[in-house]
Amino acid sequence: MRALSNTLFRGVAHAIVALTAAIFAGLAHSQTVPEMTAIKVAENSYYVQGLAALGSPKNQNFISNAGFVIAKEGVVVVDALGSPALAERLVKTIAAITPKPITHVLVTHYHADHIYGLQTFKALGATIIAQASAKEYIDSDTARLRLQASRVDLAPWVNEQTVITLPDQWVNGGETLRLAGTEFRLELVGPSHTPEDLAIWVPSERVLFSGDLIFNGRLPFVGKADSSHWVKALDTMLSFDAIAVVPGHGRWSDNPRADITLMRDYLGYLRKTMGEAVDNLTAFDDAYESTDWGRFQSVPMFKFANRMNAYNTYLLMEAEGLRAK
């Protein structure tokens, strides 16, 4: 009876997904729909790459990456993209490659562009797994207000039916889980970009899903992140013998050591130069203009992100200095 009940539930869930997809497809005729292609990075590991742009109705909020691993008994997805419509398209993309069911979704962190698609996978019966520190964000006014704004700014792809979907399973990080017959190492690398950052290591594939700790091919947005821990987290990532890294944004890395090292060195340089400015009581504008940014000026997004990153790091170093006294 229980097996019959589960079968009926999945049948209804698939019908709901198909109906929703049809509605979105109708809307898409008057919208520019971004291309979604599965890119293979290892024998059983793939990802879809978001656009290097801000989220908008034109791109369905397709600005982040999502990955998936075809495991022995099912498919394990990493992150859920920035809208239910995108998640529907990811489900179809996966189905075109394998008939295996999607059994789990691993969440690297709870930023909107990675989690608004979770409800689609929940409807399919997948188990959602995230790090316990995400509870603070999920229950916050920040999350509520971001969703409220997104329902306007990203309509119709994010709307009143879009919700923040809770995990089915919380982890602390540091666990190795056997999911759909394949081992996944969930490494806690937060607080860095967010308090709940998880890196997902798949030993059998030698593939690392880094979340937003790596923005490959471009500078990151540091924001108010704990860059000290972020640097240590990147050192942890270097300890994995990865042949491929799938970042939260940007192209996958087939030279993980070089790309991780660039990110670590950039964050370390921000801390060194802005820390010295704070120690010397140098005003930020003067410190920024006198700093040699030559090594990083050719990295995409430098003009857009670097000054903001430097300023936020300057404030962080001030705060760290005050705490140390």
Mean pLDDT lowest among 31-35, 145-149, 261-265, 286-290: 31-35
Question: What is the distance of C-alpha 243 from the center of its chain?
Answer: 20
pLDDT, mean over the chain? 90
Q: How far, in Å, CA of 80 to CA of 77, rounded?
A: 7
Q: What is the pLDDT, as a whole number, of residue 9?
A: 37
Does 209 score more than 50 pLDDT? Answer: yes
Of all residues in the chain, what percent carry a pLDDT higher than 90?
Answer: 81
Contacts of 213 (CB under 8 A, 6+ apart): 189, 192, 193, 197, 199, 230, 233, 234, 237, 247, 248, 263
Of residues 217 and 206, more confidence is placed in 206
Q: How far is CA 304 from CA 38, 212, 234, 269, 301, in A?
A: 29, 18, 23, 18, 5
pLDDT in tens, 170-191: 999 999 999 999 999 999 999 9
Q: What is the pLDDT, as a whole number, of residue 142?
A: 95
pLDDT in tens, 69-123: 999 999 999 999 999 999 999 999 999 999 999 999 999 999 999 999 999 999 9
Phi then psi dihedrals of residue 52, to 5 deg = -85, 65
**Local structure of 128: helix, strand or coil:** strand
> How confident is the model over 216-243, as a mean pLDDT?
91
Contact by Cβ (8 Å): 113, 63: yes
Does 284 score more than 80 pLDDT? Answer: yes
Of residues 255 and 16, more confidence is placed in 255
Q: How far, in Å, CA of 46 to CA of 234, rounded?
A: 22
Contacts of 144 (CB under 8 A, 6+ apart): none
Nearest CA to 174 out of 193, 198, 194, 191 is that of: 198
Does 243 score more than 70 pLDDT? Answer: yes
Question: What is the distance of C-alpha 258 from the center of its chain?
Answer: 21
pLDDT tier at 279, thresholds 50, 70, 90: very high
Q: Where are the alpha helices (DSSP H) in the chain?
A: 2-28, 84-95, 112-115, 118-123, 134-138, 141-153, 227-238, 256-279, 284-290, 302-324
Could you tell me whether strands 75-78 and 66-70 are parallel, antiparallel, or unpaired per DSSP bridges?
antiparallel
Q: What is the pLDDT, as a whole number, of residue 325?
A: 65
Does 54 score more than 70 pLDDT? Answer: yes
Our CA angle for 279, 281, 283, nearest 5°, is: 125
Contact by Cβ (8 Å): 264, 226: no
| CB-side neighbour CA atoms (13 Å) of 310 | 23
> How confident is the model over 305-324, as a mean pLDDT?
92
Does 220 score more than 90 pLDDT? Answer: no
Residue type at 185 in one-letter notation: R
Mean pLDDT lowest among 28-42, 56-70, 125-139, 191-205: 28-42
Of residues 237 and 218, more confidence is placed in 237
Mean pLDDT lowest among 24-33, 98-107, 299-308: 24-33
Model pTM score: 0.85
Q: What is the pLDDT, as a whole number, of residue 217?
A: 81
Could you tell me whether strands 102-106 and 45-48 are parallel, antiparallel, or unpaired per DSSP bridges?
unpaired
Q: What is the pLDDT, as a whole number, of residue 33?
A: 75
Query: Hey, what domains does the chain have and what are their CATH numbers?
Result: 2-255 (3.60.15.10)
Q: How far, in Å, CA of 301 to CA of 60, rounded?
A: 22
Q: Is the peptide bond before 191 cis (omega within 30 degrees of 0)?
A: yes
pLDDT tier at 31, thresholds 50, 70, 90: low
